[in-house]
Amino acid sequence: MRILITAGPTREYLDDVRYLSNASSGRMGYALAADAVAKGHEVVLVTGAVDITPPNGCDVRSVQTTDEMRNACEAAFPECDGVIAAAAVCDYKPLHRVTGKIAKTGGPITIEMIETDDVLAGLGRQKRNRWIVGFALEASNSRENALQKLRAKNCDVVVLNDPSAIGSLTNSVELIDATGQPIESWKGTKEKVAQALICWIEKHLSPRN
């Protein structure tokens, strides 16, 4: 298979030196990419800025902002069999980016925020015969929120985890299908979880099956 994998955080710039982001390390997405390549698949890795080296054998496309990630994914997806969306994409961005550097004023400032474009929902709209595996990081009402994400973004399944996964070497996940219930659960190092997920995709979503 040819698999599109997203990894790492996106950044939304307030000015030319400051940005909003999150603590995603990219380890989960990179572990998925490494295992997919090891199993003989072609991988397009669309990655935000992280401090780890991409796995050998990937077609790496580096991005920073959510718009850049959306554009890179929409360019790659038509030539792929499916996508694993493990990136931690910013949900909001400043309405206006300031040129230069915002100066101190001695008082508070207000920054108006708007929602970013939804990268995964955009891929879901052009899904056709491809498969989509989303990731949902939820702190409460987790399975209900994961099911809502699955439906809204046209996913086949969603990998549900919690905020403890951010920046961690390990992960504990449930694989949620259209019933809203877990059909698989895996825990351990992110490499171990990646191996289990890629095996599941090969068995259940591969065009050969």
How does pLDDT run across 19-30, given as a tens digit for each residue? 999 999 999 999
Active site residue 161: no
How does pLDDT run across 82-124, given as a tens digit for each residue? 999 999 999 999 999 999 999 988 999 899 999 999 999 999 9
Radius of gyration of the chain (CA): 17
Asked if residue 207 lies in contact with residue 169, where contact means CB atoms within 8 angstroms, the answer is no
How does pLDDT run across 38-81, given as a tens digit for each residue? 999 999 999 999 999 999 999 999 999 999 999 999 999 999 99
How does pLDDT run across 132-180, given as a tens digit for each residue? 999 998 888 889 999 999 999 999 999 999 888 888 899 999 999 999 9
Distances (CA, A) of 105 to 14, 102, 110, 133, 150: 16, 9, 12, 46, 44
d(CA 39, CA 121): 28
pLDDT at 79: 96
What angle, 0 to 180 degrees and rounded to 10, lies between the N-to-C axes of helices 27-38 and 190-204? 50
Return the closest-CA partner of residue 34 out of 50, 51, 48, 53.
53
Delineate the domains of the chain, giving CATH numbers in brackets.
2-204 (3.40.50.10300)
- Choosing from 22, 56, 71, 154, which is the catalytic residue? 22
